[in-house]
Chain A
Amino acid sequence: MKGSLLKSWKNILPVLAYYLLFAVIFFAVSFLADSVLYFCGVGVMIAFAVPLSSMSVDERDGWDKFAVASGVGRGELAASRYIFALATVLSLSVPAAVLAALLPERVRQFASMLLLCGISLLVLSVALPLMHKYGVEKTRILLLVIVVVLFGAGIAFGWGFLLDEHASAAFPLFAVPAAALSLGTVCFAVSWLVCIRICRRKDL
């Protein structure tokens, strides 16, 4: 597991600077606009793009073949991808939390941040099994469509709820963000299990 994670980390290093640059720019935009939405929105995209890039490189290199031939279990291989994706989401959550703490309407900012964390997990839950089953290159366009649809639907529904004073009054402020995060977590866990099954059945 450590070997696979280290390999993913080293593989992603050359493109990490670009993602960091985006993150820094949108951190500043969010700060100036008094809303975490901008940073977290880009965060969802980065949380999807980093595992996608990593898997794309693995696919090009034929890493899965080497790893399985070298005794890395297929389940372990899938697990390393999920842990890497989760680490990306968590890494982005830290500056998002800092940003939320710095901005006015702190509670609403944290609620928005949780909502977008949930959306990130949902996006990854759908994308990772597809990437494992069909390969990154074959599904790249489909994955982008899925990300945009899930992201758009999540934002439209969740953000609408957070801004709607009637809805906010009827439900606790954290109702939708907590639901999105819970749904994302459950879907992520189920997706992980599905992915292990896909990996075990796949000819490499």
Chain B
Amino acid sequence: MLSTVCGREASVLPAAGAFSEGELVRVSGLCKRFKGFSLEDVSFSVPRGAVVGFIGENGAGKSTTIKSLLGLIRPDSGRISLFGKEERQLGKADRNRIGAVLGETCLPENLHLKDIDAVMRHIFLHWDGEAFFRYAEKFALPVDKKVREFSRGMRQKVSLAVALSHGAELLLLDEPTAGLDPVARDEILDILYDFMQSEEHAVLISSHIVSDLEKLCDYILFIHEGKIVFFEEKDALGEKYALVRCPAEKLVGLDPAAVVAFYRGEYGASALVYRDRVPSSFETERASIEDIMLYFARGERV
């Protein structure tokens, strides 16, 4: 269903244009130019019932992509479809099917949770105040304090509580776990697991904390310098890539086509390789998503 996309590595590009019933999001050839940065030919899809983890360094283009999906940024070219409709044609009811957490809180910080409930009642068509306060209780958020008095982690939780309290089918989450301690991050992951109990739901989540995504995601979308490097099933990544650690002179014996990228160190070398192209004489290790990301982003190329 999904294609492997890779600005540098992959050979199969995603089918442009056609929207499949099984997808909640399809992005084709998205381009946006800013001074000093550009998003180039970004293509991927978010299947119904799946969690797509969006990884990349700071400034790689994750937030710009998510903002484009939310209609906050006008792309220079490319197509974005959500729920089978062009992004520009989405009405209020369609947009209400999306729950968003943006990098910052983006909620009125002078307000208490009760006030936020009152405001959201008029913003969303299917606002569920009870669900909102249930989440607030679950996240131990004080109802009588202003949002600006909350810690950063608590503010993130308020944003997530809002995103989950209006019957959204699709969550677009930009760094929802940023600033949270491991316990709070785990709570949020649990909430997202619960959300994904419905096969109709889908999540696109960006995070720097790759270990969180490793637990949660079905697919990994990796962006580097504004270009998609790959878009793969998480389990397929483990089968496709591996790490080889050996003396630098031994690494030279590897077929260059087998090496994605490598590091040279004082005590030897290590390389991210295509598992199926490495001879059995080389001992391979499992490559984590973080390893894959680091080698693609910072490793030397053959």
Chain B residue nearest in CB terms to A8 = B108
* Complex CA–CA separation, A6 to B120 (angstroms): 10
* Complex CA–CA separation, A65 to B69 (angstroms): 12
Q: Chain A: how many interface residues by the 8 Å CB criterion?
A: 28
Q: Is the CB of A61 within 8 A of B70?
A: no
**Cβ contacts under 8 Å, A63 to chain B:** 106-108
Q: Which of A4, A6, A66 contacts B106 (CB 8 A)?
A: A66
Q: Is the CB of A62 within 8 A of B73?
A: no
| Residues of A175-204 whose CB lies within 8 A of B | 201, 203-204
A7-B111, A61-B105 as given contacts; A204 in contact with B67, CB under 8 Å: yes
Q: Is the CB of A11 within 8 A of B72?
A: no
| Residues of A56-90 whose CB lies within 8 A of B | 57-58, 60-63, 65-73
**Cβ contacts under 8 Å, A69 to chain B:** 70-72, 95, 98, 100, 102, 106
Q: Is the CB of A66 within 8 A of B121?
A: no
* Complex CA–CA separation, A72 to B107 (angstroms): 14
Q: Taking the complex as formed, is B96 at the interface, i.e. its CB lies under 8 A from any CB of chain A?
A: yes
A61-B107, A70-B95 as given contacts; A3 in contact with B71, CB under 8 Å: no
Q: Is the CB of B102 within 8 A of A65?
A: yes
* Complex CA–CA separation, A64 to B95 (angstroms): 15
| Residues of B166-217 whose CB lies within 8 A of A | none
Provide the B54-84 mask, 1 if CB < 8 A to any CB of A, else 0. Answer: 0000000000000100111110000000000
* Complex CA–CA separation, A173 to B107 (angstroms): 49
Least CB distance from B144 to A in Å reads: 15
Q: Taking the complex as formed, is A2 at the interface, i.e. its CB lies under 8 A from any CB of chain B?
A: yes
* Complex CA–CA separation, A1 to B108 (angstroms): 15
A3-B123, A71-B96 as given contacts; A203 in contact with B73, CB under 8 Å: yes
Majority secondary structure of chain A interface residues (helix, strand, loop or mixed): helix
Q: Is the CB of B100 within 8 A of A11?
A: no
**Cβ contacts under 8 Å, A3 to chain B:** 119-123
Q: Which of B72, B94, B96, B108 contacts A65 (CB 8 A)?
A: B72
Total contacts A-B at CB 8 Å: 89
Least CB distance from B129 to A in Å reads: 13
* Complex CA–CA separation, A188 to B95 (angstroms): 30
* Complex CA–CA separation, A203 to B105 (angstroms): 18
| Residues of A2-39 whose CB lies within 8 A of B | 2-4, 6-7, 10-11, 13-14
Least CB distance from B277 to A in Å reads: 43
Q: Which of B72, B90, B105, B119 contacts A6 (CB 8 A)?
A: B119
**Cβ contacts under 8 Å, B108 to chain A:** 7, 10-11, 57-58, 61, 63
Least CB distance from B111 to A in Å reads: 6
Q: Is the CB of A71 within 8 A of B92?
A: yes
Chain A residue nearest in CB terms to B94 = A71
Q: Is the CB of A73 within 8 A of B110?
A: no
Q: Which of A1, A7, A62 contacts B104 (CB 8 A)?
A: A62
List 23 A-B residue pairs with CB atoms under 8 Å apart, sorted by A's residue number. A3-B119, A4-B123, A7-B108, A10-B118, A10-B119, A11-B110, A57-B109, A57-B110, A61-B106, A63-B106, A66-B106, A67-B123, A69-B98, A70-B100, A70-B124, A71-B90, A71-B91, A71-B92, A71-B96, A201-B74, A203-B67, A203-B73, A204-B73
* A-B contacts besides A67-B123, A203-B67, 14 pairs, CB < 8 Å: A7-B111, A10-B110, A57-B108, A65-B70, A65-B72, A66-B102, A66-B107, A68-B72, A69-B95, A70-B95, A71-B91, A72-B123, A201-B74, A204-B67
Q: Which are the 5 A-B pairs with shortest beta-carbon distances? A: A3-B122, A71-B95, A66-B106, A71-B92, A3-B123
Interface residues, chain B, with chain A CB atoms under 8 Å away: 67, 70-74, 90-96, 98, 100, 102, 104-111, 115, 118-124
